[in-house]
Amino acid sequence: MEGWGEPLEGVRLQPLTVHPDHRGTFTEVFRESWNTGIELEGWDMLSTEPGALWGVHLRAWSDCYLVLLQGRATAGLCDLRGQPLARRGSTVVELSDEARVALIIPRGVAHGLYFHEPSVLVIATSRGRQPERGLGCAWDDPALEIPWPSTHARLSPRDAALPPLAELREALAAITPPYPGEVT
């Protein structure tokens, strides 16, 4: 499949084709033959209410494949790859069930989603070389420089307790995961 460009280096948007008829819709969400470059092993579903925010999370060893099946959301991304550890760029990507895409997030890119409507999100993850440690940081840390559409959000207890970005950077520095293109 052809992608729709890269909001950040390595972050990809894959357009998905929705086939509607009088019964509903049918969408191929993922095919191994699409050569996305990631081998998915786990699939999760998230059902949220308006005003909920999921994240900000970071996977050090595995990649994410996200598809919003219902609703509307803003994905916030902050690239924390590279040595020395630095914030290499932040952006937001708008997701809607009216223009269905798969958002591919490589390991090392911190990410969160703010939901504008009741939404259903599927999150698939690739096999990692090591188990993930539940890394993340506070979604509203100004150092993330993510232009969220709201200053308030409903969070899970886990996300509400996430540390500042500075602590996430320290945790990343301690595990120093190798990213594509780096000498390990």
Partner 1 sequence: MMPDHWPRRSKVPEIAGVERIHLESHADAGGVSTQVFHREWQLGIHPVQWNAVQSEANVLRGVHVHAVHEDYIVLLKGQTLVGLRDLRPGAPTEGNTAVLELKAELLEAVRIPPGVAHGFYFTRSSLHLNAVSHYWNLADELGCHWADPQLRLDWPVREPLLSQRDASAGSLRDLVDTLRTRLQEATPS
Q: Does the footprint of partner 1 cover residue 67 (CB under 8 A)?
A: yes
- For 53, the token pair is 């925010």
- Binding span for partner 1 by CB under 8 A among 35-43, 128-136, 163-171, 175-183: 35-43
Please give the Cα distance from 50 to 47 (Å, whole number).
Answer: 10
Contacts of 154 (CB under 8 A, 6+ apart): 49, 51, 52, 53
Site string for partner 1, 139-158 (x = CB under 8 A): ---------------xxxxx
Task: Provide, rounded to whole angstroms, the least separation between the CB of residue 127 and partner 1.
Answer: 8
- For 44, the token pair is 């999760």
Q: Does the footprint of partner 1 cover residue 129 (CB under 8 A)?
A: no
Nearest Cα residue to 109 out of 125, 89, 95, 126: 89
Please check whether residue 113 is in contact with residue 143, taking contact to mean a CB–CB distance below 8 angstroms: no
Nearer to partner 1, 79 or 115 (CB): 115
Residues that bind partner 1 (CB under 8 A): 21-33, 41-49, 52-54, 67, 69-70, 115, 120, 122, 124, 127, 154-159
